[in-house]
Structure 1
């Protein structure tokens, strides 16, 4: 898996940290302010959207009176404590990140989440400084499954896309990495367990967690 790889690019939620369930809690709480029940399948509909795209989607679909910037600010505030105290790294993730850093492999995060929350959770776990770049869906024209966020992360790492390895837990993210011309490793996550066979089919590799890699290198 690591042969001819000069940069490793991680999605954040569900790929590097166990946080996918938290966003469902936030959606329930946020929509509850407006007495709107959480629609069935909402998480699937917004998969891969950037933070701004998701806020615009909520505003339009649910007729939220606040503007998009206020919606994002509210979500960041609601998620801040959860990301600080309730979001662990995936098993073996710290060891793998340290291995990459020690072996001269550049590291990047390419996420649909907000920069504030990425920096928060990486700082909490003491690994923020290991990363060469953080690119969010709001930094590029199109969110996943478009390849924009991964191509920009590779550019900022100064590494050709074909020498990048992507870790992703959701299908739009896997598609984004493949569309960018990168190798993609799918990561198991409880949130997307029902899609495991499709994830295996679309990706180059599949891991349960990063201990799977550390046992082999």
Structure 2
């Protein structure tokens, strides 16, 4: 891993574990669902809604922006050109992702790929290929920012450079995915 010295035409972000920490909501949702039927699509949507509902119950902190995210998103919103040069590419549904960003105080980007926007999710390249298209750039000129090996593999398969953040997996697990760059979080 080295210092990023390249320039990119667009940045494609994952959401959970990369931009936001939804741990409190996830724990609450698992407690509410007791792991009944997490493999069913309908139950998965209900589970995501419960994450939002549980995120602030009982004095919990809620879904929060991870370190460095506010500075990066403020920078990306500083001009019309940069507003169109980043995308959210998440495996979450659009409803959940929009709510999570709002709760965390992160602006919803102009370019947004959610689970229902692609036929094949991560680790397939589809989310990041589509994100690059929305930004109007070649995936080879994009930097994917991810917290999970499946997302790193997805970015690599799309032809993007990858930046792994160590927020939800260990450093060793993320190194095994062979990202181009590795940082603790986006404050680096």
TM-score (ref. length: structure 2): 0.82
Q: Note closer, same or farther for the CA distance 1:168–1:31 as it changes in structure 2 (3 Å cut).
A: same
Residues 72-116 of structure 1 deviation map (CA, whole Å, 9 limit, x = unaligned): 442233112245651111111010111233264311111111111
Match of 1:77 in 2: 49
Following TM superposition, by how much is the alpha carbon of 1:24 offset from its aligned partner in structure 2, in angstroms?
Answer: 4.8
Q: Which has the higher helix share?
A: 1
Q: Which residue of 2 aligns with 1:136?
A: 114
Q: Secondary structure at the match of 2:6?
A: coil
Distance 1:28 1:83, change over 3 A: closer
2:22 to 19, 35, 38: 19
Q: Secondary structure at the match of 1:192?
A: coil
Aligned counterparts of 1:75 and 1:95: Cα–Cα separation in 2: 30
Larger deviation, residues 135-144 vs 171-180: 135-144
Could you tell me whether the CA contact under 8 Å between 1:6 and 1:159 is conserved in 2? yes
Q: Deviations over 1:138-165 (max 9, x none)?
A: 2111111101011011111111101111
Aligned partner of 2:135 among 152, 157, 162: 157
CA contact (8 A) 2:146 2:165 kept: yes
Answer yes or no: is the 8 Å Cα contact 1:83–1:117 preserved in 2: no
Contact residue 144 and residue 161 of structure 2 kept, 8 A = yes
Whole-Å Cα distance in 2 between the matches of residues 133 and 2 of structure 1? 25
Q: How many pairs were matched up?
A: 177
Match of 1:181 in 2: 159
**Which structure has the greater CA radius of gyration?**
1
- Consecutive unaligned residues of structure 1, counting only runs of 5 or more, are 37-54, 60-67, 213-217
Contact persistence 1:83–1:120 (CA under 8 A): no
> How far does residue 167 in structure 1 lie from its aligned partner after superposition?
0.7
